[in-house]
Amino acid sequence: MSVSGDVGKDFLRPPRIARALVALFAAAPVRHALLNDLAERFVEMAREDPGCARRWYWGQALRCLSPAHRVGLPHRRRLGSGLARRSAVSGGVQDVRHATRALIKQPGFALTAVLTLGIGIGGTTAIFSVVNGVLLRPLPYAEPDRLVNLWQVNKSWFDSPNLSLRSWAEEFPASMPTFHDWEELSSVFENVGAYDDRSYTLLEGDRPERVYGTRVTSGVWRALGVAPLLGRTFGPEDDVLGAAPMAILNHGFWERRFGGDSSVVGTTIHLNETAYTVVGVMPEGFYFPSDGYSVWTTFDEESKATDRSTQYLFAIARLEPDISLARAQLEMEALTQRLVESRGHNPDFGVRLVARMRQVVGDVQLILLVLLGAVAIVLLIACVNIANMLLVRATDRRRELAIRSALGAWRGRLVRQLLSESLVLGVLGGLCGVVIALATFKPLIAALPTGIPRANEIALDHRVLLFAAAISVLTGLLAGSLPAIRAGRAEVLETLQDGGRSSTAGRRRNWTQGSLVVAEIALALVLLVAAGLLVKSLSQLTSVERGFDSERVLTFRFAVPASGLGRPARSSMPRPATSLSPEQVNQLEYVTPMVARLAAVPGVEFVALADNMPFMGGTSSGTTTLETSSGMHETNVERSAVSPWYFRALGIPIIRGREFTADDGPNGVRVTIVSRGMAQQYWPNENPLGRRLKRSTLEAASPWLTVVGVAADVRHQGLDVEPRPKMYMPYAQSPRSRVDVLLKSRVPPAVVADAIREAVADYDPTVPLPDIRELESVISSSVAVPQFRTGVVSLLALVAGLLAVIGVYGVLAYTMAQRRSEIGIRMALGAKQSDVVKSVIGRGALLAGIGLAIGTALAWAAVKSLNSFLFQTSTHDPVMFVTAALVLAGAALAASCLPARRATKIDPVEALRAE
Amino acid sequence: MTKGDHLGEFELVVLLALARLDETAYGMSIYDEIVATTGRDVSVPAVYVTLSRLEKKGYVTSRVGESAEDHGGRSKKYYTILPAGLSALTLSRSMYDSLWAGVSLKPRASKS
């Protein structure tokens, strides 16, 4: 610190905050002299040692805070304050006791304030608990911020017309050899592991059970760094070809299925008819890759031996201690380049690192923060309301305060007292809020859409409770600061002289109250506009033309079991020609009688199969060559293999031609049905029936398919995804081992669900019971996230609007009460009732008007952040803004009517007498 | 002198300090005197407030001074002891003297 830089004004002035303390808290008779003399002494001291001077000045300033400074003697009663002086600490306790007593004396006010704050703090705490669980709590691994996911990047898919492909391009799975190259040659990772999820059928006990598991290499355990509760994790010896299959159990699964028996280690379990030895159990709270996976197994022999063309692995790695993500990314890109040259990697594939937390949390961050912001706005509005109420209370007591001040009561003490009142309110409000948060916790979790990651980590833990405590104190201080400062500056003489009629102080007070209400209305409008836009977007989404009818449609995913194949054929189907592989033949033979069995269930109208149903996951697509009037055309369209009755079951109209029938079997002519969009795009103004197309390129060996029908467009991947050109093939001509079964029921779906399950169990007792869902509920789940955020924001907007309107009412009621005598005089002098009403409502309209104007400007700027959440709704929709403003204006005007009515009932004589 | 109004400890300290300063001084000088004589870290606001109440009790009087040190428009309040104050000091001293007389500070042997 250079000496020359200190010369100047700064050097010679006492520290400002300390000076303010003296000015605020020193006793009135000595304040002026004290300020002057302390400053002078400070200047003298600062010339020699500025630091010492500052410390000395602060010491003296802090002494002004204690009541002891004003008396210098113990055990003296002070006139007017009615409180015995003690040390500062017990003075504080005294304040709290006094504040509590004052609040008890006014239970109505106290209850309203505590409840208002409770709702605000409770809501904020609840949403914070979600933010905490999803975004803030660390993942249950050692040093989780060092973990990254490794992906390949498929550069050739960047321009694909298929939406799914474009989004998969950046996170493309790896092949086993590529993973081994990474493991062996990368220098930036401590450990690397590969994993892949699977669903298994656990054959243990009486009933087979579907279990979700993950295949992992030993590197995964080393990367995660969590020790098992029992037994051991996998080691490098378990990764090699020929090693015995091993399994590790999840804690919850172990307790539920194996009774928490520690002797399970070393026993064998059967997953998908393979025997796995249980070698360990993980501790409670551990999950990977997400909550819901019950078992981790080693890779099977076949998978270990897959080549570079089979890309299905996820990879996770731990960064070396001093390497940053960015640096690791660059090194891996360089490594990839070297591998292209040295090991013949495909140059179309790049590499990408994503921090593990980011991978897990994904895009949910923005919406959670938006929700937190919205609820914070509501808390702010509640705060403003409380501040207004306290201001009113303070001014009601200003005569009392003025008298006490005149009798020598120490201003700082009064300020402290008022602050402790609002602090007590804040703390009580916080307790109320925590109770509310606890009570609404379970319903909140239930209402969360299933897409929210790490929902299992959401809890009211110590961080959440600390947050609740902090905002209670903050809210209390914030709400009380304005009235407290006001009271501190109460003009004693003025207040006592004019008996509380309008003075400059009074006018300033009204202005403050008014501006607080204006702020409330502005904020409430912002929330209302946001809610309105979200509601509109949601209704657009749910009412969009889907292209199919999901009413009374049930669906379940089915995997043809390996053991089911090779059974004696139940039908007298002729052995098909060799267009199908032997596996496909077996699959077809298994599935066909099952469909017949299901169709026989009473209440079921249609049964159909599809390799992917609408809304049940992605869709497959591929290069297709079309025969058009302008020659051969190669393009990319979506594909689906469906059985007969599919279109009938889903109510998809066939616009031209026909549905698939039982004749479209493996031996029949290869046919296809195209979507309307596809027909219009490639065969405009002509009949597409009879045209031919084939999968893959012109030169490929795939067979030509003849178009026999045109079906209406279907929103396949989601309500907000536009339908793309699509072709359907008969299931019998390309069977799969995993298939979606759909059933159209004549009766309410719940009635037939059990019968369907029984039919499946009856057909093949070795398969797990199917997880039957109603298509309607699947579609509802797809809009669960928009529904959730729309619901929350709407609720918040409602609360905010209500609070703002209550604020308007409060201000008007108070102003009117203050001006009773004035109104009485005016009425006595001949003012009509309607004039009085007009003046009250006029004031309300003015407040609302200014608030709405400011709110509109704020909302106009704020809605930009909602863009990504809206479907077919524009953010700057004037109709929406006007509607929201009108709603709020109407409510505010309605709130002004009550005080206006009361004003007309003022009896002039009484009002004047009461003065 | 008002009835029953003995000087409190701090009032005594301040008044004595003022007495030492040839009976006329302003707030900070009195503070300095107390610090210099007793070595006690005193609170400046406490000194000022005590002077103010001593004035109310009629033991000292004050005037806003034009002394040689005043500059920059900051005039100081100068306090002077009044006869009543001197009497209070004398009374106080005799009271303490009476109490101190015959007091031995050695602990007595315990009775057992």
Q: Looking at the whole model, is its pTM more than 0.80?
A: no
Burial class (CB within 10 angstroms; exposed 0-12, middle 13-18, buried 19+) of A825: middle
DSSP A70-92: GT-SSS-PPTTT------HHHHH
Contact B74 A40 (CB under 8 A): yes
Identify any residues that bridge with A634 across adjacent strands, giving them in sequence order: A625
CA separation (Å) from A294 to A217, A288, A328?
Answer: 16, 9, 32
The two structure tokens encoding residue A865? 């952040």
- Predicted confidence at residue A141, as pLDDT, reads 93
Residue B10, in any domain of the structure: yes
User: For residue B29, what are the contacts with CB-CB under 8 A and spacing of at least 6?
Assistant: B21
d(CA A445, CA A459): 9
Rounded CA separation A567/A560 (Å): 12
Q: State the best of A69, A75, A407, A410 to mutate against chain B, taking most chain B CBs within 10 Å.
A: A69
Measured CA to CA, the distance from residue A823 to residue A817 in angstroms comes to 9
Cα A337 from chain centre: 39
CA distance A26 to chain B (A): 7
d(CA A142, CA A158): 35
**ω into A15 cis (within 30 of 0):** no
**Cβ-based contacts of B11 with chain A (< 8 Å):** 72-73
Two structure tokens written together for A842 = 């006029």
Give the chain A residue nearest B55 (alpha carbons): A29
Of A24, A76, A809, A105, the closest CA to residue A419 belongs to A24
Strand spans (E) along B1-112: 24-26, 60-65, 76-81
How many whole angstroms from its chain centre is CA A356? 19
The continuous run of DSSP H or E covering A675 comes out as: strand A671-675
For residue A630, which amino acid is it?
S
pLDDT at A79: 40
- How far is the CA of A151 from the CAs of A174, A317, A378, in angstroms? 7, 11, 42
Q: Which residues pair with A640 in a beta bridge?
A: A728
CA atoms within 13 A on the CB side of A347: 2
Which H or E run contains A640? strand A631-642
**CB-based contact, B16 to chain A, within 8 Å:** no
Q: CB under 8 Å to A826, separation ≥6 — which residues?
A: A835, A836
Instruction: Give mean pLDDT in consecutive 10-residue pieces for chain A, a chain of 915 residues.
Output: 41 80 80 88 88 90 70 39 47 75 78 86 90 90 93 82 74 88 89 88 76 92 93 91 91 90 90 89 91 90 78 91 92 90 83 90 82 87 84 71 68 75 90 91 81 84 92 89 69 55 60 82 90 89 84 87 54 56 80 89 90 74 83 85 90 91 84 91 89 84 89 84 87 83 89 88 82 85 81 86 82 74 78 80 87 92 84 85 90 84 74 63
- Write the single-letter amino acid at A233: T
- Is B27 a member of any domain? yes
Residue B58 lies in a domain: yes
Distance (Å) from the C-alpha of residue B93 to the closest C-alpha of chain A?
A: 18
Q: Containing domain of residue B59, as a range?
A: 3-90
- Amino acid letter, residue A208: P
Tell me if A635 sits within 8 A of A777, measured CB to CB.
no
Question: DSSP states of A311-342 as a string?
Answer: EEEEEEEEE-TT--HHHHHHHHHHHHHHHHHH
For residue A678, the Cα-to-chain-centroid distance in whole angstroms is 38
- Greater model confidence, B98 or A815: B98
Residue A503: the pLDDT is: 54
Binary contact (A37, B26; C-beta < 8 A): yes
For A30, the closest of B11, B45, B74 (CB atoms) is: B45
Question: What does the pLDDT read at residue B1?
Answer: 43
Query: Which residue out of A36, A87, A411 would a mutagenesis test of the B interface target, given it has the greatest number of B Cβ atoms within 10 Å?
Result: A36
* Residues contacting residue A62 through CB under 8 Å, at least 6 positions apart: A18, A21
Give which of B26, B48, B60 to mutate to test A binding, by max A Cβ within 10 Å.
B48
The 3-state secondary structure of A887-912 reads HHHHHHHHHHHHHHHHHHCCCHHHHH
Instruction: Tell me what percent of chain A is helix, strand and coil, each rounded to the nearest 5.
Output: 55, 15, 30
pLDDT at A73: 36
Cα of A277 vs its chain's centroid, Å: 40
Q: Which of B44, B52, B63, B64 to mutate to test the interface with A (most CBs of A within 10 A)?
A: B44
C-beta atoms of A73 and B46 within 8 A: no
Domain count for chain B:
1
Q: Which residues of B touch A30 (CB under 8 A)?
A: 45, 48-49, 51-52
Q: Cα separation of A648 and A594, whole Å?
A: 19
Burial label for A671, CB within 10 Å (0-12, 13-18, 19+), is buried
Q: To which H or E segment does residue A150 belong?
A: strand A147-154
The torsion angles phi and psi of B36, rounded to 5 degrees, stand at -65, -40
CATH, residue B14: 1.10.10.10
Distance CA A369, CA A868 (A): 14
- The answer to whether residue B62 is domain-embedded is yes
Cβ(A733)–Cβ(A740) under 8 Å? no
Q: Are A488 and A414 in contact (CB under 8 A)?
A: yes
The answer to whether A729 touches A640, Cβ cutoff 8 Å, is yes
The residue type found at A497 is Q
- Give Cα separations from A705 to A410, A582, A648, A690 (angstroms): 96, 22, 22, 9
Quick one: tokens of A290? Answer: 């997400």
> What is the C-alpha to C-alpha distance for residues A824 and A842, in angstroms, rounded to an integer?
18
CA-nearest residue to A64 within chain B is B45
Rg of chain A (C-alpha set): 37
The length of chain A is 915
Cα–Cα distance between A545 and A553 in angstroms, integer?
17
* Coil, helix or strand at residue A181: helix
Contact B44 A27 (CB under 8 A): no
B79 falls within a domain: yes
In a domain? residue B23: yes
Nearest neighbour of A37 by CB, restricted to B27, B46, B50: B27
Chain B residue with the nearest C-alpha to that of A42: B28
Separation of alpha carbons A826 and A833, rounded Å: 10
Nearest CA in chain B to A57: B44
Which residues, 6+ apart, have CB-to-CB distance to B97 below 8 Å? none
- Write out chain A residues lying below 8 Å of B49, CB-based: 27, 29-30, 69-72
Nearest CA in chain A to B26: A37
Question: Is the residue at B49 inside a domain?
Answer: yes
* Half-sphere exposure in the Cβ direction for B21 (13 Å, CA): 23
Helices first, then strands: H and E counts in chain B: 4, 3
pLDDT score of A101: 78
Interface contact flag, A29 B52, Cβ < 8 Å: yes
Report yes or no: A22 at the B interface, CB cutoff 8 Å.
yes
Interface test with A, best of B5, B10, B42, B49 (most A CBs within 10 A): B49
Contacts of B64 in chain A (CB under 8 A): none
B20 domain residue, yes or no:
yes
Cα(A655)–Cα(B102) distance, rounded to whole angstroms? 124
Q: Per-residue DSSP letters for A694-739?
A: EES-TTSSPPEEEEEEEE-----S-TTS----EEEEEGGGS--SEE
Amino acid code (one letter) for A87: S
What letter would DSSP give residue A771? Answer: -
The answer to whether the beta carbons of residues A139 and A394 sit under 8 Å apart is no
Rounded Cα–Cα distance for residues A89 and A404 (Å) = 22
In A, minimum Cα distance to B43 occurs at A60
* DSSP string over A492-557: HHHHHHHTT-S-HHHHHHHHHHHHHHHHHHHHHHHHHHHHHHHHHHHHHHHHS--SS--TTEEEEE
B64 lies within 8 A of chain A by CB:
no
> Is B9 at the interface with chain A, CB within 8 A?
yes
Contacts of A889 (CB under 8 A, 6+ apart): A848, A849, A852
| pLDDT score recorded for residue A86 | 45
List Cβ neighbours of A693 (8 Å cut-off, separation of 6 or more). A624, A625, A626, A627, A672, A674, A704, A705, A707, A727
User: Residue A190: helix, strand or coil by DSSP?
Assistant: strand
